Structure 1
Amino acid sequence: MTTVPVQRSENGSHQEQRGAVAALHQELVRYGLVTWTAGNVSERVPGADLFVIKGSGVSYDGLSWEGITVCDLDGEVVDGVRAPSSDTAAHAYVYRHLPEVNGVVHMHSPYATAWSARGEAIPCVLTAMADEFGGPIPVGPFALIGDDSIGQGIVATLAGQRSPAVLMRNHGVFTIGDSARSAVKAAVMCEDVARTVHLSRQLGAPLPIAQADIDSLYERYQNVYGQR
């Protein structure tokens, strides 16, 4: 029996957003968070039950809007000629179940993924970590790629957490945000603190930060820090 390839069409919808998401992938390269074609950024399309995501196995070199595919919230292709990321079902599950989330990033960055391989949360022992994550970076369950099992683990693990990042056991990192850009920022910060806490543990036991101080730092950073 001959398998007929799925025919995809390109109507060029959402070009501006797809171009912006394509450009954000270069931040993953810039900060050394991805290897070869692994990793992806997605973003919800405003006002529609759609999101855009990097094509599966598409190179970061010269990535343009055409390498980004439009999908519905069931992960089905709506527009584009590239098969979407193998993580599409996970992203779609997050968007279906967390309406406040507008951006998702996945990566296998070295230090954070090393913590995930140990199945160990990253403890909140840095003020920068309290600022961005409001506590430890939690570990989600092991799940195979291909369906929405990973998405289920992400949503369940982040429930009640302030952290925009989760370490999926034996896999890698997923981050969320109110935009793709904020999810990319969380990804950059996650790898940074994973590395620093790892280095600290080589010298001895990191000193804990009191919960009241973590709460204060988080409140200041989220509501006072930066330009308003």
Structure 2
Amino acid sequence: MAGTLDGYPQHVREQVARTRELVARLHAELPRWGLVVWTAGNVSQRVVVDAAGPSGRDLLVIKPSGVTYDELTPESMVVCDLDGVLVDGGRAPSSDTAAHAYVYRNMPEVGGVVHTHSTYATAWAARAEPVPCVLTMMADEFGGDIPIGPFALIGDDSIGRGIVETLRGSRSPAVLMRNHGPFTIGPDAKAAVKAAVMVEEVARTVHVSRQLGEPLRIEQDHVDSLYARYQNVYGQGEGAPAQEKEHA
């Protein structure tokens, strides 16, 4: 049953409405980039409440469970608290909501979370093998290998715990959960979607490279240099914010 936002002040309700529009729009990017099939996958974004609501805690906006991508609208997005409990919306939240909520509770710097079952990244997850940092694009975006997270079952916050344990202190915004698939994080949902796109791109490229022979790792000092430049210098003269940077 739908909850209600009536107890929240007007500025929070307006922020939720904007976030619903954003999250609905970003979900369209997942099939566009070939990262999902049918109803699989999800995007969420944190709504910062600043102690202005009934619980004084942040909220999250995520897609409802079992709805195809061409049926998603801003109005169909659901709002949950950071325990994954429905606050507002006419449908049940995504089955991955508990994982997203755990990440937000335990990584306050994270504003967006994405999960897909994109083919190449999930193939690496099925092998429980990190994607090695053999591309400058990987050094730029991930600061090293894309790590493997532990096996965990859907239904509680076990996946979320695995994401946090793997990514806390890591430069990578992506983890390949073993036998499951990629989860990505970012300061907002758009950045997390970009990370999901880039995970699939590098997973595919490194897989193709391995068909030709063993790819060559980039030396760690070069990885560090590339990461620092891309994250802190690249594009600044062009006025591009970090989440808009492109490889060129």
Contact 2:3 2:86 in 1 (8 A): no
Q: Where do 5+ consecutive residues of structure 2 fail to align?
A: 7-12, 51-57, 240-248
1:28-72 CA-partner distances (Å, limit 9, x unpaired)? 111000000000000000235101001001110041112211000
1:149 matched to 2:158? yes
Distance in 2 separating the partners of 1:18 and 1:111 = 29
Q: 2:113 aligns with which of 104, 118, 122?
A: 104
Shift of 1:10: 5.9
Output one character per residue of 1:145-191: Cα deviation in whole Å (capped at 9) or x when no partner.
00000000000011221000000000011000000000000000000
Q: Deviations over 1:74-116 (max 9, x none)?
A: 0001111111000000000000000000000000000000000
| Distance in 1 of aligned mates of 2:4 and 2:35 | 30
Distance 2:145 2:223 in 1: 10
Q: Which residue of 2 aligns with 1:8?
A: 2
Cα contact 2:5–2:87 (8 A) shared by 1: no
Equivalent residue letter for 1:159: R
Which position in structure 2 is the counterpart of 1:38? Answer: 40
Query: Is 2:171 the counterpart of 1:162?
Result: yes
Does 1:136 find its partner at 2:145? yes
Query: Residues 112-161 of structure 1: CA distance to partner in whole angstroms, max 9, x if unpaired?
Result: 00000000000000000000000000000000000000000000011221
Partner of 1:120, secondary structure, is coil
The answer to whether residue 73 in structure 2 is matched with residue 71 in structure 1 is: no
Identity of aligned residues (%): 70
> How far apart in 1 are the matches of 2:89 and 2:145?
38
Q: Which shifted more, 129-138 or 40-49? A: 40-49
Q: Are 1:11 and 1:80, in contact at CA under 8 Å, matched by a contact in 2? A: no
1:34 maps to a residue whose letter is V
TM-score by length of 1: 0.95
Alignment of 1:51-130 (within 5 A): 51-130=60-139
Contact in 2 for aligned 1:164/1:183 (Cα 8 Å): yes
Which residue of 1 is the match for residue 217 of structure 2?
208
Report the Cα distance in structure 2 between the residues aligned to 1:11 and 1:50, rounded to whole angstroms.
11
SS in 1 for 2:69: coil
**Match for 1:8: what amino acid?**
A
2 CA distance for matches of 1:219 and 1:56? 39
CA distance in 2, matches of 1:136, 1:50: 31
Q: Does 1:188 align with 2:197?
A: yes
Number of positions where the alignment pairs a residue of Structure 1 with one of Structure 2: 222
Matched residue of 1:95: which SS? Answer: helix
Answer whether contact 2:47 2:61 (CA < 8 A) is retained.
yes
Q: For residue 21 of structure 1, what is the aligned residue in structure 2?
A: 23
Deviation of the 1:11 alpha carbon: 5.5
Measured on the aligned residues, the alpha-carbon RMSD in Å equals 1.2
User: TM-score if structure 2 supplies the norm length?
Assistant: 0.87
Name the SS for the 1:122 alignment partner.
coil
1:3 is aligned to none
